[in-house]
Amino acid sequence: MFLLEDYIKAFRANSIKITPQRLAIFNLLVGNTSHPSADDLYKEVLKIQPSISFATVYNTLDKLVELGLLQKLDIDDEKKHYDPDLSIHHHFLCKACKQIIDIFENFNVNIQPASLNISSLESYQVNFYGKCENCSA
Amino acid sequence: MFLLEDYIKAFRANSIKITPQRLAIFNLLVGNTSHPSADDLYKEVLKIQPSISFATVYNTLDKLVELGLLQKLDIDDEKKHYDPDLSIHHHFLCKACKQIIDIFENFNVNIQPASLNISSLESYQVNFYGKCENCSA
DNA sequence: TGTTAAATAATAATGGTTATTATTTGATAT
DNA sequence: ATATCAAATAATAACCATTATTATTTAACA
């Protein structure tokens, strides 16, 4: 998990400006295990930066993903979710409450690009679907 | 892979009407390995059913997914893709051309629901991301 | 063949995301 | 410290996949 200073260093190293809006977003991401959507983050950051616009949230998230500091999850077809934890782990989506639960297991899912039409393998995601305990009670 | 008659039988068994529009969609799905989006299918089916509406495509795809005859892929954040092949396999998305390539390997990615906040595990998807051979040339 | 609930076509609405643009500002050089 | 300027912001419009609505049509069955 990254610390605030990791985000700042990375932005500086890439000559991307550090603004109060971005610092507020960085702070929301540090240690965040809730897999927030852009809208979730927007609502939270409004409390610290009441005049922030939605576009700024998207812009900052895009930059973070480009810099490899944030993972975009393709697990929920309704919206994108973001995960600042880049350690190898995967996710479970409860189809009822849409909660995303971390699965801290390192599955052996290597593929041999050479054997397929694939030239570079950059990442992978393992997504599980079902119902969480709350929702099946 | 299902045959046309499998789709027909399943719809009949569930008292869901079989219409020319739906038959055209069934035919497009049989043996289809292109992982089409709803729009892809709409464009194709227009050639056989020129007056079909988009809503009918979505309606039929939803029914197929509900009946367990079609898999919805959460791999492309831009749109949903559908796969009529329900055998255990996974997918690679080329970030450049958005092509989806089948990965016919059965990874051992079991999780123990009991140990987490999970009560029922219904399905999983393993998604790989990178560049295909065409796009890195 | 008539009946009826379900499906269709047409289209409006929704919601997440992206694009646009005038204004403001962070970072650098002076 | 200040000026400069490219980049970022806020506001908002546009986009696009998907879902909802509704009057009309039709598949399935009696």
CB atoms within 10 A of CB A85: 17
Nearest CA in chain B to A123: B129
Q: How far apart, in whole angstroms, are the C-alpha atoms of residue B124 and residue A109?
A: 13
**Confidence band, pLDDT 50/70/90 cuts, at residue A127:** very high
**Confidence band, pLDDT 50/70/90 cuts, at residue A115:** confident
Tens of pLDDT, residue by residue over B13-23, are: 999 999 999 99
Q: How far apart, in whole angstroms, are the C-alpha atoms of residue B20 and residue A120?
A: 43
Tens of pLDDT, residue by residue over B52-64, are: 999 999 999 999 9
- Provide the token pair at A115: 């054997």
Cβ <8 Å between B129 and A120: no
Residue A124 phi/psi, 5-degree rounding, is -150, 160
Cβ <8 Å between A118 and B72: no
Q: Where are the alpha helices (DSSP H) in B14-135?
A: 20-29, 38-45, 54-66
pLDDT at A103: 95
Q: For A57-62, what is the mean pLDDT? A: 98
Nearest CA in chain A to B77: A74
Residue B82 phi/psi, 5-degree rounding, is -125, 145
Check: CB of residue A136 under 8 Å from CB of residue A99.
no
Contacts of A62 in chain B (CB under 8 A): none
Contacts of A124 in chain B (CB under 8 A): 126-129
For the entire predicted model, the pTM comes to 0.95
